[in-house]
Amino acid sequence: MRPAPLPVRDGLGAARVRLHGGAVLAELTTRFGEQARAKVLAGEVVDAAGAVIDEATVLPTGASVYLYRDLPDEVPVPFDIPVLHRDDDIVVVDKPHFLATMPRGSHVAQTALVRLRKELGLPELSPAHRLDRLTAGVLVFTTRREVRGAYQMLFARGEVRKTYLAGAAVDPALVFPRLVRSRIIKRRSHLQAVCEPGEPNAETLVELLSPDGLYRLTPRTGRTHQLRVQMASLGLPIIGDPLYPKVIDVPAGDFSTPLRLLAQRIEFDDPFTGSRRMFLSRRTIEVGSGGGHDDAG
């Protein structure tokens, strides 16, 4: 894929807009309002070749233009992103709770990707996979465009072994370890994923490690919210979960109750050297129903 014609700025790449065709100024103004019009008139919008768009520019259907987006107001996430490993190809970090992996919706600058690009001076940094915003732990990024696809395919093909720790209640009637298999569907615009009848598409080995409610979760698939949905389906929702079993409205900037879910360990065979690589989070999970936060450092 050819590089974007505008460089990364403040850790964020330019937005790409695919056009319906015709006069660019009129289309951008109709779709995005006066802010977009002002960007065109200021010479801040370019086409795929890097040529500046002006008020007379006409482009065909399917053509793309690029511009820097106006960032939303965001509450700073007050936790560091420790680096566990860095080499020429990858950066592995210990992501804190409450920080999204990459820009989406109202979370843009306050994401691991944007912050790390700025902190590490790596404009081509890109996630090899994702962790939910509320999940902490091991997260792998690629450093260069040339190696991105190889690492992303490891995760896409399920060739990476992931181990999580979770805190939840204990039900003496449930026997562990147990293999949880279910069919999980996540529909667009719905906050929650749901279990539905039918052929299972999600599978997780659940082990109880301690009588106070520390669990090891080993997913064999990677559905959206898989671990959170399946623990809730056992009647053991993960402590601090604002989505399962019911949606709880948490005010922006409230970092007092982290989700007790940690991506503790990742293992894979390096796609270039073939060597076995393993990365381990330095964070811990607090079990029981008490509060507190372990990400202050």
Strands 261-269 and 136-142: parallel
Cα dist from 59 to 63, 119, 132, 249, whole Å:
6, 37, 38, 44
Length of the chain: 297
> Which residues are marked as active site?
132
Task: Name the residue among 250, 212, 245, 242 with its Cα closest to residue 230.
Answer: 245
Cα dist from 121 to 41, 95, 117, 125, whole Å:
31, 18, 5, 9
Query: Coil, helix or strand for 31?
Result: helix
189: tokens are 């615009």
Query: Coil, helix or strand for 94?
Result: strand
Helix-strand-coil percent breakdown of the chain, rounded to 5? 15, 30, 55
Q: Which residues touch 273 (CB under 8 Å, ≥6 apart)?
A: none
Distance CA 29, CA 44 (A): 14
Distance CA 214, CA 46 (A): 52
Which residue is it, tokens 């690029």? Answer: 66
Distance CA 277, CA 149 (A): 18
